């Protein structure tokens, strides 16, 4: 556990440095940094994008629900509630949603899985696809690539300004790395703990959505080790908490940490003393099947978005809604269950929120 002061003065300078670097790197962005919802201004680039890009793969076929099976009438207005970047493990396609419809897709080659993606303020999207990372433009040109060394995988990426990216490279051993995208030179590299130093079977489940926080610390979701760890900028451990299969850990602006439990299908908000102060368990929402809760986001209005990846075969895979929005008292205000337009959901980036994605700490994801 950590004390309440563990994220205070010692990390304020680091926060300033991180934010300054991000703002300087993003000085050529097309959106206004001070705007209340700056990412809404980026969507126009996707409205006018070509149907198929020069670096785009063929759209994969995917199963869709039997139209004779009625979907419950859920609240919230379906796709019209939030503009968003949407993606799901098992379907190597990025989706941008606006005006209640999918306005843009970009398909990537088969193999691997998209586990982390960010739409940045210049309109580019960075993503991981397990064996490589990419940056793709709205006109579907790939302008940056990082290939994983043999025996390694990447399931985490995060923009640090427009010129750098943090990745967690699963391997023997695993590392957190910050890369300069200009030449893929290493800006920072630290070894992460691993269950095994020799067993290649342990590489895939080592780490998922880890983050650089707005205070310059590093929040690590140890999927295989059932814990979340936070390190300071000198790579000293300042906090840890036990958590079953944590797929993602997000530092909230109130100082708590939001943790999602993948196949254990929970969302826990944990305070600085390691106590669960808000939580959602697998059976807490009558009539809604929580399957693999891979990520969750806290919105500007205090609501929580839960990304619920469905499972099973045939029509069973469509029983779990993709997205659920809850108020702090767990009132359901939006449920998205639209497998005709979108696949299973691993994560979303809602574009009607405040903040610039490449400024660590601006977005709570």
Cα–Cα distance for residue pair 1/245, rounded to 1 Å: 18
- Find the CATH number of the domain harbouring 298: 2.120.10.30
DSSP 165-225: EEEEEESSS-EEEEEETTTTEEEEEEE---S-SS-GGGSTTSB-B-EE-TTS-EEEEETTT
Consecutive 10-residue averages of pLDDT for the chain (365 residues): 45 41 39 69 94 92 81 91 96 97 96 96 98 98 98 98 98 98 98 96 97 96 97 95 97 96 97 96 93 96 95 81 97 96 96 97 91
CA angle 278, 284, 289 (to 5 degrees): 125
Cα–Cα distance for residue pair 114/92, rounded to 1 Å: 6
pLDDT tens per residue, range 143-178: 999 999 999 999 999 999 999 999 999 999 999 999
Does 119 reside within a domain?
Answer: yes
| Torsion sign across C-alpha atoms 84, 89, 94, 95 | negative
Cα–Cα distance for residue pair 333/75, rounded to 1 Å: 6
Q: Which residues contact 19 (CB under 8 A, 6 or more apart)?
A: 214, 359, 360, 361
Q: Which residues contact 152 (CB under 8 A, 6 or more apart)?
A: 169, 170, 171, 203
Does 61 reside within a domain?
Answer: no
Mark out the alpha helices in 55-128 (DSSP H runs). none
Does 128 reside within a domain?
Answer: yes
Whether 168 contacts 156, CB under 8 Å? yes
Q: Which of 25, 120, 102 is nearest to 363 (CA)?
A: 120
pLDDT at 26: 40
Give Cα separations from 204 to 39, 245, 255 (angstroms): 33, 13, 30
Does 93 reside within a domain?
Answer: no
Does 100 reside within a domain?
Answer: no
User: In total, how many domains does the chain have?
Assistant: 1
Domain that includes residue 11, residue range: 4-52+105-350
Cα–Cα distance for residue pair 225/194, rounded to 1 Å: 8
pLDDT tens per residue, range 66-124: 877 777 789 999 999 999 999 999 899 999 999 999 999 999 999 999 999 999 999 99
Round the average pLDDT of the chain to a whole number and report it.
Answer: 90
Does 75 reside within a domain?
Answer: no
| Token couple for 171 | 């391997």
For the chain, what percent of residues have pLDDT higher than 70? 90
Question: Which pTM was predicted?
Answer: 0.90
Does 145 reside within a domain?
Answer: yes
């Amino acid at each position: 556990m950590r004390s309440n002061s563990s994220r205070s003065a010692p990390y304020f300078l680091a926060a300033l440095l991180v934010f300054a670097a991000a703002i300087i790197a993003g000085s050529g962005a097309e959106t206004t940094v001070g705007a209340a919802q700056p990412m809404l201004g980026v969507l126009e680039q996707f409205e006018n994008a070509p149907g198929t890009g020069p670096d785009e793969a063929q759209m994969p076929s995917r199963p869709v629900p039997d139209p004779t099976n009625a979907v419950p009438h859920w609240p919230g207005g379906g796709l019209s509630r939030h503009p968003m970047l949407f993606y799901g493990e098992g379907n190597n396609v990025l989706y941008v949603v606006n005006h209640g419809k999918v306005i843009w897709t970009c398909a990537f080659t088969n193999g691997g899985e998209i586990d982390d993606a960010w739409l940045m303020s210049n309109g580019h999207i960075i993503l991981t696809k397990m064996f490589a990372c990419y940056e793709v433009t709205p006109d579907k040109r790939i302008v940056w690539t990082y290939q994983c060394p043999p025996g390694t995988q990447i399931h985490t990426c995060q923009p640090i300004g427009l010129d750098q990216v943090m990745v967690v490279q699963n391997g023997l051993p695993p590392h957190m790395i910050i890369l300069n995208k200009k030449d893929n030179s290493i800006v920072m590299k630290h070894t992460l703990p691993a269950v095994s130093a020799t067993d290649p079977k342990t590489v895939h489940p080592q780490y998922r959505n880890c983050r650089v926080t707005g205070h310059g610390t590093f929040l690590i979701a140890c999927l295989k080790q059932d814990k979340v760890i936070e390190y300071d900028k000198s790579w000293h451990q300042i906090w840890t908490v036990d958590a079953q299969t944590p797929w993602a850990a997000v530092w909230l602006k109130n100082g708590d940490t939001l943790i999602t439990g993948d196949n254990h299908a929970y969302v826990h908000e944990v305070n600085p003393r390691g106590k669960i102060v808000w939580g959602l368990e697998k059976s807490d929402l009558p009539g809604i099947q929580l399957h693999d809760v891979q990520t969750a986001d806290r919105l500007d209005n205090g609501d929580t978005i839960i990304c619920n990846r469905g499972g099973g075969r045939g029509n069973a895979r469509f029983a779990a809604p993709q997205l659920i929005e809850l108020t702090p008292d767990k009132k359901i205000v939006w449920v998205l269950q639209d497998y005709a337009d979108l696949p299973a959901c691993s994560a979303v980036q809602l574009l009607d929120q405040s903040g610039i994605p490449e400024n660590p700490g601006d977005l709570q994801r």
